[in-house]
Every structure is written in structure tokens, then in C-alpha cells.
Amino acid sequence: MAGIRIRDLVVGYGAVPVITDLSLDVVDGSLFTLLGPSGCGKTTLLRTIAGFVPIRAGTLHFGERDVTALPAWLRDIGMVFQDYALFPDKTVFDNVAYGLRARKVAAASITATVGEYLERVGLSAYADRMPAALSGGQRQRVALARALAIKPTVLLMDEPLSNLDAKLRVQVRETIADLQREVGITTILVTHDQEEALALSDRIGLLRQGRIEQVGTPEDLYARPASAYVADFVGAANTLAVTLAAPVAGGSRARIDLDGTMVEAMAPAPLPAGNAILVARGESLRLVPPTDGIPGDVPCTIRRRQYLGGRTTYQVCTASGRIIRVEAHDEAAALAVGSTAGLRLDPARSLVVAS
């Protein structure tokens, strides 16, 4: 077992590399998620760590071992793929035994190890089946057993859940979480699904165009996004372009003019005067009757209302035409489309960041 250390990594040819000067540390035994939209370079980064994509510059260490120039088959990795990548002509047992046989492990030991890992993923009864006779969730659990059976230094997972339907996704997600914790293996998981990232990860790195936008715990990314981009990608917050009248010190409250109403929001980092972005999640906003008339409430009109069971989402429009999403949990205060209301921000849960 070992942590992963990436320093000044450059990947890809040509004038615009896929990954530029990326540095990253993954703590030994933790689960780290690379999150980002498609095309952000997260799969390329994972395949670079695996050894399938050559490194142009920079270094890559597994623990103290420098693996920068090592080919994939010598890196001692376990890898799980989006499409399972089970060998279709081999039984479940032979699939899991494949890496052990390549390492010339004794037959008795192979039988024991394969048995142990099939047991761990709950598929002991399926050892003699062919992959085609398994469901998608079962196939991905076999792939997980196969990757872990060789007791690799690191486990790399490339969108392991995205081929599964919603219900299986949650099941396999829990298998992955349990197994990763039991085995205590350093793991990197790639996903574009922010809910998956929030649920599984010790830490998340959000990638944008080959650069790390923010690294932190799930709580960090959700509650303290470093940029409007992070706020929008993780949990789809409202991001509103605003103008700061004066510079703001880091960690203090800023007073912001929002369509003629002065509202307050936290500034996690110091900001200069001028353009900035106000980040407010739908659930940190409240709609109040217009008659309340408290000075901090922004007048708005209800454009759309969607009842979603436990909550209701509203789309409201301010005087200047901004569209803002609000999430309400108290159905009693249902507001009709077309009626006017006041929009109230929670200063402690609203952020203002650089644009």
C-alpha cells in the first residue's frame, strides 16, 4: 500500500496538452475521486496513472516507488473499467485468477485467493459461470474482485458505475465503498456524477480542461466552492454575476447590490472591487410573501413551479430578468405561478467568489 504523488504532470502532444502542470497527492488508503465533465481530462489522467498514456513531463510516484517511466504491466495496479472488460471466453474464476496466474502464484494459493475475493463481492456461487450469464452489477463485482485479487498497490476505477441502471448503481457503489475500506487500498475513481463523488470520496479533485479546479473533501466542494465553476458543477448552484463596490477581505461578509436590493454573502477569499460571482444554492434561498417587506428581500415573480414529492422547486425572475432556482421543503407555502414574492438569501450559506 502506498499513497500516490503526482508532480508537474504534462500529458499529450502538440501545442495544447491534455493535462498541464498537474500536481496532486492521494493519501495512502484513501479514496480519491477525479470529478469533471466529459472531455476534462479525468480519464486521460487515470490512464496516465495506470501507464496506458505516456507522460511527457513531470513525475509519478506510488509511495516511494518512481513509476513515471514504468509500463502498465509493471506498475502493479488494479483497474476497473466502465464496460467491465471481463474476458468473455473465461469463467468468473478464470477471470479473477488471470492476474495471479500471470504472477506465477501456486495453484492452491490461487484457488484460495480467488475464493476469498469472490466471497467478498458476494459471488462465490458464480465461479463457474461465463461473464455473459451475469447481470451488469455482477459483472462489475467480478471485475472488482479481479482487480483486487492481485493485491495491487493502487486501485484505479474508470466510471465503474455509469453502465449500470440507477438501482444497481447504488448497490455496487456500496460494495465499492465497503470493500475499499476493508482492504484499505489507495483508490482513484473517475466519474462525471457529482452525487457518486460526494457519496464515495474521502477527497475529490474537480478537473476542468486538464487542470485541477479545486481539491477538497466533499463538504469543501459543496459548501465552500473555490469558484463559480465548482459551485455550478457540484450541486448546480445559482451563479449570479454581481459588481462589488469596494474590495472585500477574505473571510468577511460582503455587501452586494442585487437588482437594487443590498444583500450579504461570505467571501472565502479576498476580492477586489468590480465584477464577482454570487453563489447561492437553491436550498439556501427562501421565498417569502412580498408583504414582509424586509429590506434584504429581493422582489421577484414566480415563473415555474415543480412539485417533486419531498420538495418543490421554483424558478423565479427578478426585476432585471435574472432567473434563479429556489428549493422549498414546506409545501404549505405553495406559491402560484405569476404571483410576486420576496427572495431572501442566507448570508452564512451564500458565497461571493471571483468571476
2 binds another protein (CB under 8 A): no
Q: What is the CA radius of gyration of the chain?
A: 25
| Choice from 62, 93, 98, 233 touching another protein (CB under 8 A) | 98
| Choice from 24, 40, 77, 221 touching another protein (CB under 8 A) | 77
87 binds another protein (CB under 8 A): yes
| Choice from 28, 81, 115, 346 touching another protein (CB under 8 A) | 81
Tell me the DSSP string of 236-287.
Answer: --EEEEEEESS-B-TTEEEEEEETTEEEEEEESS-B-SEEEEEEE-GGGEEE
- Reported as half-sphere exposure (CB side, CA atoms, 13 A), residue 121 has a value of 28
Q: What is the footprint of another protein within residues 154-183 (CB under 8 A)?
A: 156
The 3-state DSSP class for residue 149 equals: helix
In whole angstroms, how close is the CB of 103 to another protein at the nearest point?
6
User: With respect to another protein, which residue has the nearer C-beta, 179 or 234?
Assistant: 179
- The interface mask with another protein, positions 116-155, x = CB under 8 A, is ---------------------------x--xx--x-----
Q: What is the footprint of another protein within residues 286-325 (CB under 8 A)?
A: none
Closest CA to 255 of 238, 232, 276: 276
| Choice from 27, 57, 66, 83 touching another protein (CB under 8 A) | 83
In whole angstroms, how close is the CB of 55 to another protein at the nearest point?
8
182 burial via Cβ count (<10 Å: 0-12, 13-18, 19+): exposed
Task: Report the alpha-carbon distance of residue 295 to residue 299 in Å, rounded.
Answer: 10
Count of residues of this chain found to bind another protein when the rule CB under 8 A is applied: 32
Task: Report the alpha-carbon distance of residue 344 to residue 173 in Å, rounded.
Answer: 37
209 within 8 A of 220, measured Cβ to Cβ? no
Q: What is the footprint of another protein within residues 38-57 (CB under 8 A)?
A: 47, 50-52, 54
User: With respect to another protein, which residue has the nearer C-beta, 68 or 217?
Assistant: 68
Give the binding range for another protein (CB under 8 A) out of 21-29, 96-104, 237-245, 315-323: 96-104
Closest CA to 160 of 75, 85, 62: 85
In whole angstroms, how close is the CB of 6 to another protein at the nearest point?
17
From edge to edge, which strands make up the β-sheet containing 261-267? 238-244, 274-280, 351-354, 261-267, 252-258
Distance set, CA 176 to CA 31, 52, 157, 184, 224 (Å): 10, 23, 10, 11, 27
User: With respect to another protein, which residue has the nearer C-beta, 52 or 307?
Assistant: 52
Per CB under 8 A, residues contacting another protein are: 47, 50-52, 54, 71-79, 81-89, 98-99, 102-103, 143, 146-147, 150, 156
